A and B are shown apart, each in its own frame.
Chain A
Amino acid sequence: MQKQKGLLFDSTMCVGCGECSLACKEANNLKKTSSDPLRDQLSADTYTVVHQFVGKDNEEIYSRQLCMHCINPTCVSVCPVGAFEKTPEGPVLYDESKCIGCRYCMQACPHNIPRYEWSSNYPRVRKCILCAHRLKDGLPTACAEVCPTGATQFGLLEDLKKEAAERIKNNPDTYYPHIYGLNEAGGTSVLVLASVPFDRLGFAKNLPNEPLPEYTGRALQAVPVVLSAGTAFLGGMYWLTKRKNQIAKEENKEN
């Protein structure tokens, strides 16, 4: 947790140049998908996009979409073969050699991030990897490195949390008073600041503060209980009803 890296995206500082999405493609060897990065969509070949939104005074707002790298990721929890992993450095990574293609990760992701290679005959799940290969070499993510305004900032997650809180405190008029990702679904390694409520920028709303894997975890905790209580119940009923039939049979004979 101490050395966990993350991103702070401050949409009030974003000018919508799209450099982040272009740098991402280069750093991750992704195919070019659109000439206008602002009109691009997340896909198996696009890990992050910048989209334009309109604020309440008709001002332009730009916001990014990328994997949030949850602290307790839903994808890690749902994958039946354990193809996803939350690394101690922060990135949530996917191991394609394990994947069987059930797509439960896509179905379950609260942020709707993972994309699929639908046209492939041996498809992979694709999503932002927080430039894990660059982090290993001590480099920041490509998107943060290239960002000309500092809207996307790379750093230690703990530092970024403090920084985000500072900004809201120092400029209460600029910011909607919430750090998205601090608590959403147990928190994420990507934090977001904005001038408007986050669902207006396409971020998932109504997320509980509890990590979502807790929801299924409770059901799975019942498995040993069901097994032991079920065995006792079935065994008991088996013995009881068999005995009852025997007694009935004997009484029948006597009569």
Chain B
Amino acid sequence: MKNGILRHLTFWKIIGAIIVGFGLYSTYLRVTLGLGATTNLSDNFPWGMWIGFDILCGVGLAAGGFIICAISHIFHIKKYEPLIRPAILTAFLGYLLVILGLLYDLGRPLDVWHAIIMWNTHSVMFEVAWCVMLYTTVLFLEFSPIIFEKFKWNWLLNIVRKISTPIMMLGILLSTLHQSSLGSLFLIIPTKMHALWWSPLLPVYFYLSAIGVGFSVIIFESYLSARVFNKGLEMNLLTRIGLFSAIFIGVTFLIKLIDLTAYGKLGLILANTQESILFLAEILIGTLIPVAILLNKKLRETTHWLYISAVFIIAGFMFNRLNVSITAISGINNAGYFPSIYEIGVTMMLVVLGMWAFGFAVKYFDVFPVEEFEENEEDEILRPDQKELLAED
């Protein structure tokens, strides 16, 4: 059995190495030949998969970090504490990868620092750039105690602990701003976007769905980590997280439904165009199926169903971001776009690098809580004051 697991891991390591190898080759081509030779971008379609996936999905999927901070440090619901570190680690790595991905997409990556000194406060992109810069710093500070603990740098640890509350608040505010602003980026192209996705409420949708998917990412990584690193699963916490995820995803959908109805766009859903089909797929995968699973108490409390619903929500979220950035724009502008093999290669490499970095961090730092959480019984985990809280809600 142990041998089997070992072989299994080695197999995935080989796959990962191949992906990274091809990603490095793509990187070499991107650096030496430029955007034109390595991507399928064009004057008619200047933003592709690196914006749609690496940035829009990357930032959204990293939302778990600020959500869990808000829950445990602002709302003081302490029982979610075991989930904080992995969520912050995911967010921190996620943002590093987003920045790395951005450097591939920028035509002049070495000039990226211009955004620091050349300001245009009318630009949503400018706001996003600053928020991402600041929030990545915040995430580093939030993650740093884990590093300082490891190396016993107590004086640094003390400083970071002292400023932790305002830092967390800042992180939540910055996340609120740029998670929604990624949607605002598209507000300025009402005539170049399909009406099923363009809406003045885009920033609201982006914000709410990021929160929804952030919860699901927490479930997803807890489940996988439990298997890979042989840790216990905090099912009692995750079930509740699953419900939160369903609520945010469901509310996003309801607002969208009212929005489409109010502007008389409902007919577009059944227009049987490429857009309408992909819109329906997005709603079915990302909303209807997982919300139906999660609203069922029995299914929600079953580990694998909870995991499956999280996978659906994450897939649907990515579907949505790619629809907004690609489907909604390519058809209307007659710009058939499908990412090139090198665009895909780089993106896949970034994902693998993220997984490797996560694995590395978990191995060498105390990211996951120690053994006491392996038991699922609440009484053993919770201190009396927490039991009190639990009884209240």
Residues of chain A touching chain B, judged by Cβ–Cβ distance below 8 Å, are 42-43, 74, 76-83, 98-104, 106-108, 110, 112, 114-116, 118-123, 204-208, 212-213, 215-220, 223, 226-227, 230-231, 234-235, 237-238, 241-242, 244-245, 248-249, 251-252
- CB–CB B203/A219 < 8 A: yes
Kindly list chain A residues whose C-beta atoms are within 8 Å of the C-beta of B125.
78-80, 102, 104
Q: Are A100 and B123 in contact (CB under 8 A)?
A: no
Chain B residues in 8 Å Cβ range of A242: 76
A-side contacts of B121, CB under 8 Å: 220
A238 B74 Cβ-Cβ under 8 A: yes
Find the residue from B32, B35, B43, B165 having the highest chain A CB count within 10 A. B43
Contacts of A115 in B (CB 8 A): 43
Q: List 16 A-B contacts (CB under 8 A).
A: A101-B106, A101-B107, A103-B47, A106-B43, A108-B189, A112-B43, A114-B43, A116-B35, A122-B108, A216-B188, A220-B124, A226-B173, A242-B76, A245-B76, A245-B78, A245-B389
Cβ–Cβ contact B188 & A119, under 8 A: no
Bound: A77/B125 CA distance, A: 10
Q: Residues of B contacting A104 with CB < 8 Å?
A: 123, 125, 185
Cβ A230 vs Cβ B165 within 8 A: no
CB distance from A196 to the nearest CB of B (A): 20
Say which residue of A78, A83, A234, A244 sits within 8 Å of B124 (CB atoms): A78
Q: Counting CB contacts under 8 A, is B44 at the interface?
A: yes
B108 touching A100 by the CB < 8 A rule? Answer: yes
Once the chains bind, are A119 and B177 in contact (CB under 8 Å)?
Answer: no
Report if A116-B111 is in contact (Cβ < 8 Å); known contacts: A102-B125, A231-B173, A234-B74. no
- Residues in A neighbouring B124, C-beta threshold 8 A: 78, 216, 219-220
Note all chain A residues with C-beta closer than 8 A to B31.
121
Contact of B184 among A79, A114, A216, A248 (CB under 8 A): A216
Separation in Å of the A193 CB from the closest CB of chain B? Answer: 22
Query: What residue in chain A is nearest B126 (Cβ atoms)?
Result: A80
Other-chain residue from A99, A121, A226, A248 in contact with B385 (beta carbon distance below 8 A): A248
| In the complex, chain B residues whose CB is within 8 Å of the CB of A98 | 114, 118
Query: Whole-angstrom distance from the CB of B64 to the nearest CB of chain A?
Result: 18
Given A121-B34, A241-B75: A100 and B112 within 8 A (CB)?
A: yes
Which one of B111, B127, B333 contacts A101 once the chains associate, using CB atoms below 8 Å? B111
How many angstroms from the CA of A79 to the CA of B107 in the assembled complex?
A: 14
CA distance A58 to B73 in the complex (A): 71
Total A-B Cβ pairs within 8 A: 181
CA–CA, A204 and B332, complex, Å: 12
Give Cα A252–Cα B391 distance, bound, in whole angstroms. Answer: 13
Taking CB as reference atom, which chain A residue is nearest B111? A100
In the bound complex, residues from chain B placing their C-beta under 8 Å from that of A82 are 118-120, 123
CA distance in complex: A122, B112 (Å): 13
B residues sitting closer than 8 Å to A (CB atoms) are 31-37, 41-44, 46-47, 70, 73-78, 105-109, 111-112, 114-115, 118-127, 129, 165, 169, 172-173, 176-177, 180-181, 184-185, 187-192, 200, 203, 333, 384-385, 388-389
Q: Is the CB of A206 within 8 A of B191?
A: yes
Knowing that A226-B177, A245-B78, A249-B388 touch, tell me 11 more A-B residue pairs with CB under 8 angstroms.
A99-B114, A100-B106, A101-B107, A102-B107, A121-B33, A205-B191, A213-B122, A216-B123, A241-B75, A241-B77, A252-B384
Distance in angstroms from A197 CB to nearest chain B CB is 15
Q: How far does the Cβ of A127 sit from chain B's closest Cβ, in whole Å?
A: 10
Is the pair B34, A43 in contact by a Cβ cutoff of 8 Å? no
Q: What residues on B are CB-neighbors of A103 within 8 Å? A: 46-47, 107
- B267 → chain A, closest Cβ, in Å? 17
Q: Which 7 A-B pairs have the closest CB atoms?
A: A101-B107, A118-B36, A82-B120, A241-B76, A80-B125, A219-B184, A81-B118
User: Are A207 and B107 in contact, CB atoms less than 8 angstroms apart?
Assistant: no
- Residue from A80, A101, A208 in contact with B109 in the complex, judged by beta carbons closer than 8 Å: A101
CA distance A206 to B121 in the complex (A): 28
In whole angstroms, what is the CA distance A207 to B188 when docked? 11
Across the interface, name the chain B residue whose C-beta is closest to A125: B107
A238 to B345, CA, bound (A): 44
**Bound complex: CA A198 to CA B237 (Å):** 59
How many Å from the CB of B116 to the closest CB on chain A? 10
Please give, as numbers and ranges, the residues of chain B lying within 8 Å of A252 by CB-CB distance. 384-385, 388
With contacts A227-B177, A252-B384 taken as known, whether A81 is within 8 angstroms of B74 at the C-beta atoms is no
How many Å lie between the Cα of A235 and that of B386 in the bound state?
21
A217 to B200 CA separation, bound complex (whole angstroms): 12
Identify B176's interface contact among A99, A120, A230, CB under 8 A.
A230
Best-surrounded residue of B36, B120, B121 (most CB of chain A within 10 A):
B120
B173 touches A123 (CB 8 A): no
**The one of B43, B76, B127, B188 that contacts A223, using a Cβ cutoff of 8 Å:** B127
Min C-beta distance of B66 to chain A, whole Å: 11
A220 to B333 alpha-carbon distance, docked (Å):
27
Contact A107 B47 (CB under 8 A): yes
Query: Is there an interface contact between A244 and B172, defined as CB atoms closer than 8 Å?
Result: no
State how many angstroms separate the Cβ of B75 from the closest Cβ of chain A.
5
Chain A residues with CB under 8 A of B191? 110, 204-208
Cross-interface CB contact of B122 among A83, A122, A207, A220, cutoff 8 Å: A220
